[in-house]
Structure 1
Amino acid sequence: MPESGEDFDIVDQYDSVEAPWLRSEFLDAIGTTRPHIDALRRGRDAERKATKATPPQDEPATPARAGEARPSHPPHAPPHPGSRDPPAEQGAGATQVPAPASSGTSRRHP
């Protein structure tokens, strides 16, 4: 007989009680024993494990659906300008562009 979600809630409540004497009082209040809580915990864990192992029913187990092509490798991002270019060499044949000359005064437009 499968346990209900309510039984699993009892396990969670029991696990949330930290003090041992309060756990004993909790078991007495709900009328159960620690072996029963342990059995419920094993059932809950087995159900969770089975749920995770089972693929969803509306999705096929394979990533590609019928008629869809699956790429053999992920697409590559376009290169960024200058990200892979080696630094320019400052040699005899290199030309440098001079910076624009500033007049030292700033003009304000009316």
Structure 2
Amino acid sequence: MAAPKASPRPKPALENYHTVGQAAVRLNLKTQKEHDAGSTKGERWLRDGVNLKGWPCHRMSGQLRFSDTDLAEIAAMSRNAPDKRAGRPRRRRKAPAASVLAPAA
């Protein structure tokens, strides 16, 4: 009997990779016009997410790059939880005393 032939591996597809600034534009953290003007809005949030929270990214030639798949995962991970508060409930402030509100004579 002949051994079964292994199925061929699919060829890896090359994705589009974006710099931190371009990724911020793709996630709508800033506009393309702001990016062209040199704004760094949203870039710190992405860098902190990679360094502190372990968000997916690629480091190529010492530069931080994001693929389209990485950006989709980041968007899904940063989605807000529906009506769920963490921690203790807030306490209501007491109303100020009447003597504080009365004008001085």
* TM-score interval for Structure 1 and Structure 2 normalised by the shorter chain: under 0.3
Q: Does 1 or 2 have the higher relative contact order (CA < 8 Å, sep 6+)?
A: 2
TM-score (norm: length of structure 1): 0.24
TM-score (norm: length of structure 2): 0.25
